Structures are given as C-alpha cells and as structure tokens.
Amino acid sequence: MHPDTSAIIVIDIQNDFCPGGALAVADGDSIVAPVNALLADFPVRVFTQDWHPAGHSSFASSHPGQDPFNVTEMPYGPQVLWPDHCIIGSDGAAFHAGLNTDAADLIIRKGFRPQIDSYSAFFENDHSTPTGLEGYLRTRGVTDLTLVGLATDFCVNFSAVDAARLDFSVTVRQDLCRAIDLDGSLTAARDGMRAAGVTLA
C-alpha cells in the first residue's frame, strides 16, 4: 500500500486507443488487467478521458488536404493532426470495458475545447490553461504520482512532464504504458521525461 500522499493517474485507457479503435496503440489493451490490480494500492485514484467534440481542430478531417499524422501550426504551436477519435459520447471515447472505472475517485475529461488539443492531464496544449487536476491533488494532500496508460509518448509523457514541473514526485510505470512511437517520439519522450526529473520504472 502506498502512503496517503500517493496517487495513481490512469491515462486514457479508452476504446479508440485500444486495438480496433480509431487511434489504436499496439497492445494497448494488454495493460488493463495489471492496471486494475494496482489500483487498490493507491489511496487516491484519478482517471483521465480524452473527450473531443466532433470536428475538433486536432482532427485531420478538420483541415482540408491534410492527412492524419501530418503536423500543422496552431496558435499554441505545432500540432499533430489525428484521425477522428474519442468523440464525446461515442463508443470510442468510452473506457475499455475491462477497466475498473468504479475505483476512480475522479475522472478528468480533457480535449473538450474545440480549438485546442489537450495531451496532458494538467494543462491544455498551450501549457497554461489548467484542467483543475493540480488543485484537486493538492487539496487531497498528494505529493507523489504514479502514471500508467496510453500513450507513453503523448498523453502520459505530457502529463508526467507537467506534473514534474509542478513539483510533484513522478514515476511512470513503463510496463503499464504503451506507445504510438511516431517518428521516434518514444525515444524523445523518454529523454524529455528523464530531463524533467521523472522516474521511469
């Protein structure tokens, strides 16, 4: 059992990120059972859920002539254009059926603002618009975070780096994450997390 100051953050274990989904991460569903087994060890349990309106600005379909995985410039910086995924209320946006969502103290939805994407559990992709998660964790007395989920090189990575920047002690359980690995993004993410002071376990 982890101390009362510990929380687990379960990132985006949703149908669209699992095999058969619109933005499937290879082997993404294989982490569901071991994540479930870990939940009871943590006194604070937060799940995140990617939650996009149809026609979201991060979808390639919203940019005529662009293909998924192209990169475009947004007012807040470079943005990968994704296949349509995790659309509000859709089956793809639902949590994987095997995930023990009843264990969550808090489910935080992100990416619901049409004009800005949100990889991190803490901030939109402008790195300044907060999700409110930091305040929740502070008021619960949390200092140590363990991150698991999908995908290592995007939402887990951005969440871990932001958490470290906010002075939380952060561990990423690499065995309980899976990556997209777009053009070397996994290596870059690992390097960036280490540089930010994140422990890769």
Q: Which residues are catalytic?
A: 12, 110, 155
How are beta strands 71-74 and 77-80 bridged, if at all?
antiparallel
